[in-house]
Amino acid sequence: MILGLGIDLCSIERMAAILERWGDRFERRILSAPERVALANRTDRATALAGRFAAKEATAKALSGGRGVSWHHVQVLGRPHRPPEIRLLGPARASADQVGVTHVHLSITHDAGVAAAVVVMEGEPTGEPWP
């Protein structure tokens, strides 16, 4: 059963401008250490960052706002020849567990200067409301 759904868009040009202005400082604020390592040598950093930003925002929406959840509690992990994956940590994991989320599906796409992400949270409802 679908327990949460979120979608978000992010301008790749906006991410490029943010990287130009703030560089690593912005990445440290938004990305966890494993995510920063994954993006470190990419030539399409703005595109990849826009996709991850959209995925994190979509995850927050799927978590019904996710009170107490920070950027680092949602990790977006890429795998070669596999779909991207969301890893929930700390308060994000606790919120999802409380309502019965057992699997998080993520799709990211990039086109026409925009990154888009959709997150679907699936599981068996516990009857508990979102925190």
Residue ranges covered by each domain of the chain: 2-123
Going from the first residue of the chain to its last (131 residues), give the mean pLDDT of each consecutive group of 10, the final group possibly shorter.
Answer: 97 96 92 92 93 96 87 90 93 94 96 97 92 80
- Contact assessment for residue 4 and residue 120, using Cβ atoms and an 8 Å cutoff: yes
Burial of 64 (0-12, 13-18, 19+ CB in 10 A): middle
In the sheet with 101-111, reading across from the earlier edge strand, the strands are 2-11, 114-123, 101-111
pTM flag (> 0.85): yes
Domain covering 2-123 in this structure, CATH number: 3.90.470.20
